[in-house]
Amino acid sequence: MVARPLYLDKLRRLRGKRLIKVVSGIRRCGKSTLLELFQQSLRDEGVHASRIIAINLEEGDYLDVTDHRALYALVNSRLVSGGTNYVFLDEVQRIEGFEKAVDSLYVKKNVDLYITGSNAGLLSGELATLLSGRYAEIDMLPFSFKEYLAARGKPDSVARAYTEYLQQGSFPYLVTEIGNDRPTIRDYLSGIYNTVLLKDVVQRAGVKDVAMLESVVRFMFDNIGNLTSIQGISNALTSAGRKTTAPTIDGYLRALCDAFILYRANRYDVKGKAYLKTGAKFYAVDLALRPFLLGNRPGDVGHILENIIYLELLRRGHHVFVGKVGTSEIDFVTIEGGERTYYQVAASVREQKTLERELAALQAVPDNHPKFLLTLDDDPPANYEGIRQMNALAFLLQE
């Protein structure tokens, strides 16, 4: 198992806190394995096995657990007295009314509760109302490039390993068990995609036109990193012969983001210090899904790199926005309280005109917060009046 220290350390810091620990992320990103690693660390510290109650609600052993009463009764029957019980409920959203069981377990003083789910709807509705301020969420993604290398071993060429990372994908089982077997990779991605689409989007969102939903998915994967609007997507699909409406597209995109197959980056006006309601960029949870959906055609290297950097910034715990400075665009702005960092991403800036264009947006920023230009150019780091240019792969491998 790859240790996933970024997430494991978060669980360790939250251990024993009077909070429900919620691990969310797309199916097969490693949530169950993360809980197993954490449970092993508890056993290594001397916690008796009877105090570790782990229930994966997608396993056949629990098919008769269909509502919150049965779930609560099952867990309650396994609790032991005289100390803390560590309770792990995996894929808890499968249970009707699960939030009532979670709330009832939370109030028990001898329970330290951890739950996982494959849909952002886990923290909406009644659960959010019941547990407002009483949970901590850990957003989990598939392997980062650094984790990919940890799983595969030290490469002969980091650049070649990056290409393989894009082709093979970042889902842990693909990396650790399947390797470079292309047909098996495709079959595995097909299984994930269809499960997410049918279980976490179609069923939960009540989608009637699955063909239209798939058209939306392909359109969005073909336009990662492009500034889009709901109306613009609707118009483009209608022009392509798939007549639809903006409200329908809006609903589909919300459902796809809730299922963690897409991520949305909203815009931020740097000069006006305001969050903008119009326009956004969308990014894919895994770039290997792109050729799976669109075929093996040449991709936009710059936008693909942009996608990778966006996910890395999320992994590092940042709130990430697309920056607007007048008529210029900054790929990413991370905002943490009063602190900001700006990132411009490009495949290469060895052509002078390209370098000047990428620097211009950062130079227009009216403050002195850190600014980075990340590229795939294998050149020594440079500094342009405070704008640091560095290799994007070196950035991805930083601590």
Tens-place pLDDT, residues 150-199: 999 889 999 999 999 999 999 999 999 987 888 999 999 999 999 999 98
Q: In this predicted structure, what is the pLDDT of residue 214?
A: 96
**CATH value at residue 120:** 3.40.50.300
CA–CA separation, 333 and 315 (whole Å):
15
Q: In this predicted structure, what is the pLDDT of residue 133?
A: 76
Question: Residue for token digits 């002195």?
Answer: 368
Considering the domain boundaries, does residue 207 fall inside one?
no
Domain count, the chain: 1
CA–CA separation, 317 and 372 (whole Å):
18
Considering the domain boundaries, does residue 133 fall inside one?
yes
Q: Give me the domain span that covers residue 56.
A: 5-139
Q: Is 173 exposed, middle or buried (0-12, 13-18, 19+ CB in 10 A)?
A: middle
Residue ranges in the chain whose pLDDT is less than 70: 124-128
Q: Which residues contact 321 (CB under 8 A, 6 or more apart)?
A: 265, 266, 267, 268, 275, 332, 333, 334, 335
- This prediction has a pTM of 0.94
Considering the domain boundaries, does residue 32 fall inside one?
yes
Considering the domain boundaries, does residue 372 fall inside one?
no
DSSP character for 67?
B
Mode of pairing for the β-strands spanning 274-284 and 262-269: antiparallel
Q: Is 283 exposed, middle or buried (0-12, 13-18, 19+ CB in 10 A)?
A: buried
Q: In this predicted structure, what is the pLDDT of residue 3?
A: 85
Q: In this predicted structure, what is the pLDDT of residue 120?
A: 78
Considering the domain boundaries, does residue 253 fall inside one?
no
Q: Which amino acid is at 44?
A: D
Considering the domain boundaries, does residue 132 fall inside one?
yes
Considering the domain boundaries, does residue 238 fall inside one?
no
Mode of pairing for the β-strands spanning 20-24 and 111-117: parallel
Considering the domain boundaries, does residue 134 fall inside one?
yes
Q: In this predicted structure, what is the pLDDT of residue 143?
A: 98
CA–CA separation, 119 and 256 (whole Å):
9
Phi, psi of 213 (to 5 degrees): -60, -45
Note whether 399 and 381 are within 8 A (CB): no
Whole-Å CA distances, 320 to 1, 201, 273: 30, 24, 14
Q: What is the pLDDT of residues 116-134, one digit of tens each?
A: 988 877 776 666 677 777 8
Q: In this predicted structure, what is the pLDDT of residue 305?
A: 98
Q: In this predicted structure, what is the pLDDT of residue 260?
A: 95
Q: In this predicted structure, what is the pLDDT of residue 125?
A: 61
> H or E segment at 115?
strand 111-117
